[in-house]
Amino acid sequence: MEKFECKIQQKLESAEKFTKDDIKTIMNIVRQEMNFMIRNNILITPKNYERWFFVFCHIVESGKELNDLEILGLFKEIYDEPYDEVREHKDDVKISNPKGFVKKLNHIAESIDKKLLEIINSLDRHNDSLENHTESLIESREEAKDQMLHSINKILEELNELKRENKELTRELKQYHKDVVMLQEELKIAKTEAEMDFLTGLVNRRRFERAVLEMLNDLQTKNYPFSLVILDIDDFKSINDKYGHAVGDTVLKEIAAILKTFLRANAISSRIGGEEFAVILPGSDLEQAIHIAERLRKAIENRSFNLDDIRVTASLGVAEAKKSDTLETLFERADMALYEAKKSGKNCTVPAE
């Protein structure tokens, strides 16, 4: 049975010093991985990124050339499970693991970027100095006696060779620096996409929960209030069953558009589940949050979804954060309010106690 390993990953985890060839290998792995994930519509989540990094690390280090179908087969062989895009999409909102590889690779890229710029600037200064020395020697040669010409010519030859080598090294380093900058951009894109919901463009649950924790900290340390709204589309399953998942996806995207349009710029909106959304309202007490939630509810009720016989409504639960709240208790209170809204006939807003 083939042994699967990734030496680069082992170096990442042990914080060993990287060689120039190591960095080139990392960039090669990242490029192949990103191209494959985009080409095959694979969500760039921390979990997916880490697992596919290992797959492509093994491919690159072992010198294999595989087509996409063979790569998917290799994934199944390594992880003993088939890649299931639907399952990974559902799991996306539950991922809690940090983006270990992205952080480590980005740190490496930043360090190399800084060091390369220092080396390039140093070489440029060195080349300028060599140019000055060369010009000075050329002038001296014109004035030198015959017995000195041979020595001066020899020195000039060596200086010109050194200049040529330095220029070639500078060219290679500048290209290398360009590659590192490109890697940084790719990692930045991966980080952004890892925090977004693929369908709606809103932040995903993992990123949203981190924002809630930050707001709770501000409430406890700075007394800065905020409220949480949880919104659930009424009878969404029947929409999917009757009109199909494509129409259901359109409804989800329209709800996201309403949140982006009707909320202030400092509000944070997220799709936290299949048809469930959540909103952080910084600076809003319960009364203000209820008013905003009602405005959202009416906007959804009156929205035209370009389907004559479809009516979309939503139920909302609203909770003002307390200093005693944790992430779990705040969500629990908002969820209980949402449950009461559903039980009260749907298409309404209910505040938490």
Please indicate, yes or no, if residue 276 is contained in any of the structural domains.
yes
Q: From residue 36, how far is each of 33, 40, 43, 55 by CA, in Å?
A: 5, 6, 11, 11
Mean pLDDT of the chain: 78
Same-domain pairing of 166 and 37: no
Specify the residue for token string 């996201």. 256
Among 108-122, 168-182, 188-202, 212-226, where is mean pLDDT lowest? 108-122
Q: How many domains does the chain have?
A: 3
Same-domain pairing of 186 and 323: no
Alpha helices in 223-285 (DSSP H): 236-243, 245-262
Specify the residue for token string 């220092």. 118
Catalytic hit among 33, 186, 209, 275: 275
Same-domain pairing of 339 and 225: yes
Residue 342 has pLDDT above 60, yes or no: yes
Quick one: angle between helices 100-143 and 7-14, nearest 10? 90
| Per-residue pLDDT tens over the stretch 109-145 | 555 555 555 555 655 555 555 556 555 655 555 555 4
Residue 212 has pLDDT above 90, yes or no: yes
Residue 292 has pLDDT above 90, yes or no: yes
Residue 191 has pLDDT above 80, yes or no: no
Its domain, for residue 184, covers: 100-194
| Contact indicator for 333, 319 with CB cutoff of 8 Å | yes
Give Cα 350 to chain centroid, integer Å: 35
Same-domain pairing of 251 and 275: yes
Among 53-62, 86-95, 182-191, where is mean pLDDT lowest? 86-95
**In this structure, what are the phi and psi dihedrals at residue 6, rounded to the nearest 5 degrees?**
-140, 105
Please indicate, yes or no, if residue 14 is contained in any of the structural domains.
yes
**In this structure, what are the phi and psi dihedrals at residue 125, rounded to the nearest 5 degrees?**
-65, -40
Give the CA dihedral 192, 194, 200, 204, nearest 10 degrees. -110
| Contact indicator for 281, 213 with CB cutoff of 8 Å | no
For residue 313, the domain's CATH number is 3.30.70.270
Give 289 or 133, the one with higher predicted confidence.
289
Please indicate, yes or no, if residue 331 is contained in any of the structural domains.
yes
| Contact indicator for 319, 334 with CB cutoff of 8 Å | yes
* pLDDT for the residue 42: 74
Residue 233 has pLDDT above 50, yes or no: yes
Among 1-10, 81-90, 186-195, 324-333, where is mean pLDDT lowest? 81-90
Point out the domain boundary residue: 163, 194, 225: 194
Give Cα 241 to chain centroid, integer Å: 33
Strands (E), the chain: 226-233, 268-271, 276-282, 314-320, 349-351
Task: Give dist(CA 205, CA 246) in Å, integer.
Answer: 22
* pLDDT for the residue 97: 39
| Local confidence band at 180 (pLDDT 50, 70, 90 cut-offs) | low
| Local confidence band at 2 (pLDDT 50, 70, 90 cut-offs) | low
Same-domain pairing of 230 and 165: no
C-alpha distance across the termini of the chain, in Å: 59
Q: What is the largest CA-CA distance in the chain?
A: 108
Give 115 or 208, the one with higher predicted confidence.
208
Give 206 or 216, the one with higher predicted confidence.
216
Same-domain pairing of 347 and 209: yes
The model carries a pTM of 0.52
Please indicate, yes or no, if residue 200 is contained in any of the structural domains.
no
**In this structure, what are the phi and psi dihedrals at residue 47, rounded to the nearest 5 degrees?**
-65, -50
| Per-residue pLDDT tens over the stretch 17-36 | 777 777 778 878 887 887 78
Task: Give dist(CA 122, CA 246) in Å, integer.
Answer: 58
Point out the domain boundary residue: 94, 121, 142: 94
User: Which tokens go with 279?
Assistant: 């909103």
Burial of residue 246 (number of CB atoms within 10 Å: 0-12, 13-18, 19+): exposed
Q: Among this protein's residues, is 118 annotated catalytic?
A: no
| Per-residue pLDDT tens over the stretch 249-284 | 999 999 999 999 999 889 999 999 889 999 999 999
**In this structure, what are the phi and psi dihedrals at residue 39, rounded to the nearest 5 degrees?**
-60, -35
Q: Which amino acid is at 129?
A: S
Q: Indicate the SS3 state at residue 340.
A: helix
| Local confidence band at 331 (pLDDT 50, 70, 90 cut-offs) | very high
Residue 198 has pLDDT above 90, yes or no: no
